[in-house]
Amino acid sequence: MVLKDTYNRTVTNLRISLTRRCNLRCIYCHAEGEVDPKEQMSAGEIAELMRVGAAFGIRSIKFTGGEPLLRRDILEIVRAVPPGTEASMTTNGTLLADYAAALKEAGLARVNVSLDSLRRDRYAQITTKDCLDSVLAGIRAAIDAGLTPVKINMVLLEGINEDELDDFIAFVRGNRNLILQVIELMDVQGCRFHGDVDGVERDLNERAKRIITRRMHHRKKYCLEGAEVEVVRPLHNTEFCAYCNRLRLTSDGRLKPCLLRSDNLVDIRGKHGEDLEDAFREAVRRREPYFR
């Protein structure tokens, strides 16, 4: 049974925050929109919700955090993904070298790696940790394990990394297993480092050999010479909302219909069977575009 919200948007993607814990302290972190979370969900609870989601037409799941690889039961969770459902993960990459092969064997399809600077001093400035070498090793291990394409998530930060766009394009150029995602900074926690995404898009539009409009969110993929670059723009973007197919689960067990809202969550703690199914339906019913 496929679920649609009242705006006729079909929900096919579930984004699961596995933990609020993280071994980095990025200056712009929005923590997947979680507010004052309590205990994190167990592997069994997550597995049950994934089964319910699959029965309702969920075809792809993305594990996020915090840092999902801090969960000791991460492989158990990945193994519990229902057959026919694609599973991917967003990670900061610092622990990925140790986990990449096992994640692939457990059934993970691919990874997104958060990497906002290729320069050691800037990376440390953004994350408060000197872990750049570990992240680069994690990217290499992910490619070797077949967790591809590896998407490099670069959040554009004014006055910090805006001048590194060409460096990142060079980093992915010539490697079909790498895609660069330039991401607009979310307007949360008073973060003031909003980069010029308009300028980036104008530049990419002039340089691209081909431009593809993706089905999801109608976001653009710019095909440069030997490199693919996507621009992710969630702010003030009616198309981003109009084509949204995503439902979120917070690490403490609440279904979140919209990343940008925290006043319409549906608590699923302690719910099983039909009660859990009803909670899933209610969360979809509460979905509405943030930008119209």
Assign 292 a pLDDT band (cuts: 50, 70, 90).
Answer: confident
Tell me: pLDDT of 189 over 60: no
- Over the stretch 16-41, which tens digit does the pLDDT of each residue have? 999 999 999 998 886 665 655 668 99
Characterize the bridge pairing of strands 220-224 and 178-183. unpaired
The per-residue pLDDT for 33 is: 57
Mean pLDDT of 76-103: 98
Mean pLDDT of 55-81: 97
- Over the stretch 265-289, which tens digit does the pLDDT of each residue have? 999 999 999 999 999 999 999 999 9
Q: pTM, whole model, 2 decimals?
A: 0.94
The number of beta carbons lying within 10 Å of the beta carbon of residue 159 is 9
Are the C-beta atoms of residues 149 and 129 closer than 8 Å to each other? Answer: no
Tell me: pLDDT of 79 over 90: yes
Q: Which amino acid is at 97?
A: A
Locate all alpha helices (DSSP H) within 107-191, ordered by sequence: 120-127, 132-145, 165-172
Are the C-beta atoms of residues 118 and 164 closer than 8 Å to each other? Answer: yes
Beta bridge partners of 37: none
Domains and CATH numbers, the chain: 13-285 (3.20.20.70)
Could you give phi then psi for residue 181, rounded to 5 degrees? Answer: -115, 115
Q: Which amino acid is at 267?
A: D
Assign 217 a pLDDT band (cuts: 50, 70, 90).
Answer: low
What is the Cα–Cα distance from 76 to 277, expressed in whole angstroms?
23
Give CA separation, 231 vs 156, 195, 286, in Å: 10, 12, 28
Are the C-beta atoms of residues 265 and 254 closer than 8 Å to each other? Answer: yes
Residue (of 101, 119, 122, 126) closest to 111 by Cα position: 101
Helices 132-145 + 120-127 axis angle, to 10: 100
Contacts of 136 (CB under 8 A, 6+ apart): 93
Helices 96-106 + 132-145 axis angle, to 10: 20
Q: Which two tokens stand for residue 219?
A: 């976001």
